[in-house]
Amino acid sequence: MRITMGVTGGVAAYKAAELVRLLQQDGFTVEVVMTRGAREFITPLTFAALTGQKVITDLFGNTENEANLESAIEHIAVAQRTDLLLVAPATADVIAKFARGIADDFLSTLYLASTAPVVVAPAMNVNMWNHPAMQENIAKLRERGVNVVQPNEGYLACGMVGAGRLAGHQEILAAVRETLHWNRDLTGETVLVTAGPTCEDLDPVRYLTNRSSGKMGYAVAQAAARRGAKVILVSGPTALETPPGIRRIDVRTAEQMHEAVTKEFAGCSIGIFAAAVADYRPARKHADKIKKSGGSLTVQLEPTVDILQEMARAKGDKFIAGFAAETADVEQNARKKLAAKNLDLLVANDVTAEGAGFDHDTNVVSLYFRDGRDMALPKMGKAEVAQRVLDEIVRLRGALRTKPAKRLSVV
């Protein structure tokens, strides 16, 4: 989902940078619009670096040469593609403009042009906040459905003490989720996620592995936890930090991952197998380092256990989703794997495609379903891919639970 974040001219503008990062961790794509006043406190370059997108600063372009038809109607394009408008911090000036319908810059024009839900997080002097005109404007916005995040009380930049501090990041995030009706739709579910590569030892210094970074699996685990699930993450070796609220089990080999999954999956309702488990391992692990002899070296490989197939074979009413990294014939291989392994959902991608696969923060995947349908997703961040995958899992789980039972004939 896409959030357009307005940053206005107040001391609290610097806090918006961290808020952008947290929104991205929640799986949102963030586009920033800055007012002229905001640029006195923090530079557009900061937000461009964080979001990887152009920061919008003026209604008609930043220079005379940039003033063209595209920039003149850009507020309409942004209004049409955004899922939510968030303004943090929101100054008294922009709140008054929103309340009175004044459109004299990009942000205020965007507000009028957009039909997306709006969240504003005010930040200002305590006397400004308490002024009757301000409270009247706030009341008008709330009447129109704007979610106003109440400012906190405390020591203000002006030296006064009282209401007017920008609300905490978690309070603003909670308002965003509430406004978008992000229900904790996985509450009550226990989700097992596998992630990362495995390492299959040849000798004490060499092993077979693959290029998986674990980013996709970790994004799925984090998204599931945020949607209310109890999450168990079985991870091969990665450099990633454990997402908050998740129990992580570290493994190294396919055999160790198999043991951990077998033990934990019995108590889970959903399994999402995103790990890149080695299909083969050396048949013999040498006790000492193999010395270079000058001739060729033959290494015999033996298959590892197929964890996904084994779990799916006796899944009962559990839901199982698998991932497939392909380099050719993606659809054909994906449908074959979906059927052969008795999966409810398969997420497949061509790891050779631009912006997809190992080490990237983005991915390009297609979802394949048991009923023969498929869904191709455009290139997006792995956090957003994770949300889309979970959306389908929630939908499919709901369909399975509401499926009417077969009627028995009584003779």
For 365, the 3-state DSSP assignment is coil
Q: How many beta carbons lie within 10 A of that of residue 313, not counting itself?
A: 10
Question: How far is C-alpha 124 from the chain's CA centre?
Answer: 32
199 among known catalytic residues: no
The Cα–Cα gap between 183 and 387 comes to: 13
215: burial class by Cβ within 10 Å (0-12, 13-18, 19+)? buried
Q: Helices in 330-381 by DSSP H: which ranges?
A: 330-340
Query: In this structure, are residues 84 and 180 in contact, taking their beta carbons and an 8 Å threshold?
Result: yes
Which letter, b or e, does each residue of 5-25 get, where b requires 16 or more Cβ atoms within 10 Å of its Cβ? bbbbbbebbebbeebbeebbb
Q: Name, in order, each residue with C-beta under 8 angstroms of 266's C-beta and a sequence gap of 6 or more.
A: none
Question: What residues form DSSP beta bridges with 316?
Answer: none
The Cα–Cα gap between 167 and 153 comes to: 9
Query: In this structure, are residues 179 and 117 in contact, taking their beta carbons and an 8 Å threshold?
Result: yes
The Cα–Cα gap between 250 and 194 comes to: 10
Beta strands per DSSP E along 1-123? 2-7, 29-34, 84-90, 118-122
Rounded to 5 degrees, φ, ψ at 276 are -95, 80
The Cα–Cα gap between 210 and 176 comes to: 38
CA dist 267 → 264, 270, 316, 323, 342 (Å) = 6, 9, 12, 21, 20
Say which of 133, 158, 205, 375 is annotated catalytic.
158
Residues annotated catalytic, as ranges: 158
